[in-house]
Structure formats: C-alpha cells, structure tokens
Amino acid sequence: MSFQFELADSCAPKGPRLGRFQTPHGAVQTPAFMPVATRGMMRGVSHDRLRPMGTEMILSNAFHLFVRPGVESVQKLGGIHGMTAWDGPILTDSGGFQVFSMSDICKLHEDGVKVENPIRGGWIDWTPKMAFEVQASLRPDVSMVLDHCPAKPSERNEVAPAVERTLRWAKEQRDLHNARGGADSGQALFGIVQGGIFDDLRSECATGLREMDFDGYAIGGVSVGEAHAEMMTAVEASAAHLPENKVRYLMGVGTPIDLVESVARGVDLFDCVFPTRTGRFGTALTHNGRLHLLNAGFREDTNPIEPGCACPSCLSKVPRGAIRAGFQSKEINSSMLVAVHNLFFILQLMQRIRASIAEGSFEELRADIARVYRPRST
C-alpha cells in the first residue's frame, strides 16, 4: 500500500497522537514538522542540512511553482522531487491562502479566483480543477484541495459563504482524484477545514469533508491574526469532527507554544515559515526563550547561539557577537546561521514531543514550553 497511517496502540481517543504516515517516498513519524520550500528552495537553509537535522517531509507551493518556473520546467527537472533534490515525502499546498491574501490583485468568483500574474502580467484563473491538475503534474506525495481561505479574521457573513464554497470545490477535486485512481495513483489528496472562529461552521465543514472520505485532512484558516485561545478553539472544533484513522494537518502554524498545544488537541502534521523567517530577522529560538541577537547586549558575546546545542550553526562556534555584526553589515551568513539553528530547534522539539507521548510525559513538556513561550493574548 502506497499510503497508510497508523496510530500507536497507546493513543487515547482524544489528545496527543503518536503515529506513522507511510508514503511512496518513505515514512513520516508523527507529530511532524515540514520545513517550507515554497518555490522548491528553502530560504536560508541548504537542502543537504534537512535530513541530518531530522526532516522527513517538506512542503512546496503549487501556485508559486506554476507562476515560476512553470509546470513544464518542473517536469523536465524530474518533477517536484527532482527539482528539490529531495527523495523523501513532499506535500504541495494548492496556494489558496497565498492567492486570497493578495486581495488587491485577486477577484473571487464562484468557480475559482482570478489573480494577476505577478511575473508575466495578465490574469490566472486559478480554479479547483486547475489547482488539482497542476499538482498532479508536479507529482508530490500529498496534494491539497483549493479552498476559500479568508485572509484575516472575518465576520460570520464572510466565513459562511467561504465554507460553502470550500465544500463545493472540495467535492469537485475529490471527484477528479477518484477518476485518476485516488491514492492508488501514487498521490494522496487532503481536504481543508475552514470556518474561521465559528465552531458550528468548523463542524459543518469538517463533517462535510469527512463524508467525502479524503486521504487526509487539514485545518486551515488559522494563525491569520486571531488570539491564541481563539486559534486553539478553532483547532479543537475542527479536529473533533475528523476521523481518527486519517492524518490531521494544521496549516501555517509553527511557534513552539502553538505546536505543543495543537498536538495536545490531536494534530499530526505542521508546516510554517516561522522558524526560518524569524531567524533571518535576527531572533533565535532557545530552550530559555527567544534571543533578539540584534540587541546591543550581544555585541561582544562570545557564546554560540545556544551553548550545548548540536545544530550546525552552534557547532561552528560562531559567536553571537559576530552574528550580530553580520546582521548589521547585511551579511547573508548571519541570517543563514540563525535560520538553521531555529529550524533545528523546531525539529528537535518535535522529536521531544514524540518521545514524551511515548513515555507518558507529554504534560510535563507542555507545561515547560508554556512557561518559556507564553501564548499571545491577541
């Protein structure tokens, strides 16, 4: 079987889950974090770093790859795996969030969204069928449906039509997937739950998608400006209506506190640019909280980013003071060093989460992360 998701026997019906997601390009131990290679490349981290740091699956964006370099170019490079030089599992996002976040250059219609081509000009009619066919041509292990994702916290009268549209588009793409052979084609298709911060809309969307029997399910439309408590309520309301025997993927979430709290609510898979983007702007994630390395107090600090850390950046022993000076001089190496460290920190956190679930000590780790990385109130 190309795709299979197995939960550990010790997993309770609710709460943190320990699992194994088998794909045509290998297995992923869950809960897991996927580093983001939006256009096939990661910003600030070379791909040869990924596997040694604990990466098992990465994410790319189908819409951005369609715009540049284009589907034909990706195919000539060997598909998404050849282009990324990554032989492990890959998930492609349909680009729904990115398209709808460009509200100034996109026009929604009932059958998709027209978005201005930022490279060549003109308009792209990004429809569910087109999103599906582009991803089928890219050949990832997992593809995502095109959904309607409101780009910011929205009122109910905006979210309800987005849920209806998401379900209608999901059915269209599920039918295309079935006609192609479903998961037996070598590519899985995940549905995406929308509904904003409204529990009943989340329930409606999750239930509708479950009835379509997707290969896995994602929770979308969170981390768009809502408070942490509202996000967790939305995650819980969505997960409660998803099947236990399918992967649950929370899209675009990657802070330490959000990862741990979402795992506590039964989420298996994550992606986010947070660790690398934060690093490129000079903030390091450590076991004692965030370090803002541009602060003057680090000017003559001879310590590595985090003493005792086994990441390539810390093992290189480049001192904090030198990294700070590099940022001030706009040297790319400084941003790369902190991006690598942060990604390593998040991947190691996922390993700690998996170990704590297996050992029965997850609540202790959860409390430790909450103490160091307090959830935002707004």
Domain boundaries, the chain: 4-272, 279-372
Q: What's the whole-model pTM score?
A: 0.97
pLDDT at 286: 98
Specify the range with the lowest mean pLDDT, choosing from 125-129, 174-178, 374-378. Answer: 374-378
Options 141, 147, 268, 271, the catalytic residue? 271
Report which DSSP code applies to 187.
Answer: -
Dihedral Cα 244, 245, 249, 250, nearest 10 deg: 0
pLDDT at 20: 98
pLDDT score of 358 more than 60: yes
What DSSP element (H or E) covers 341? helix 332-359
Quick: pLDDT tens for 255-277. Answer: 999 999 999 999 999 999 999 99
Quick: pLDDT tens for 2-29. Answer: 899 999 987 777 899 999 999 999 999 9
Q: Which residues pair with 217 in a beta bridge?
A: 191, 248
Confidence bin at 97 (pLDDT 50/70/90): confident
Would you identify the CATH topology of the domain 4-272?
TIM Barrel (3.20.20)
What 105-111 contacts at long range (C-beta under 8 Å, 24+ apart), as own/partner pairs, is 108/148, 110/165
What DSSP element (H or E) covers 319? none
Q: How far from the centroid of its chain's Cα atoms is residue 58's Cα?
A: 9
Confidence bin at 378 (pLDDT 50/70/90): low
Q: Which residues pair with 123 in a beta bridge?
A: 116
- Residue 184: active-site member: no
pLDDT score of 1 more than 60: no
Residues in Cβ contact with 59 at an 8 Å cutoff, skipping those fewer than 6 apart = 34, 35, 36, 37, 90, 91, 92, 93, 271
pLDDT at 99: 79
Phi and psi torsions of 147, nearest 5°: -120, 170
Specify the range with the lowest mean pLDDT, choosing from 5-9, 244-248, 353-357. Answer: 5-9
Quick: pLDDT tens for 118-169. Answer: 888 899 999 999 999 999 999 999 999 999 998 777 899 999 999 999 999 9
173: left (phi over 0), alpha (psi -120 to 50) or beta: alpha
For residue 136, give the nearest of 74, 193, 85 by alpha carbon. Answer: 74
Options 93, 215, 258, 268, the catalytic residue? 93
Question: C-alpha angle with apex 12: 8 to 16, nearest 5 degrees?
Answer: 80
- Residue 175: active-site member: no
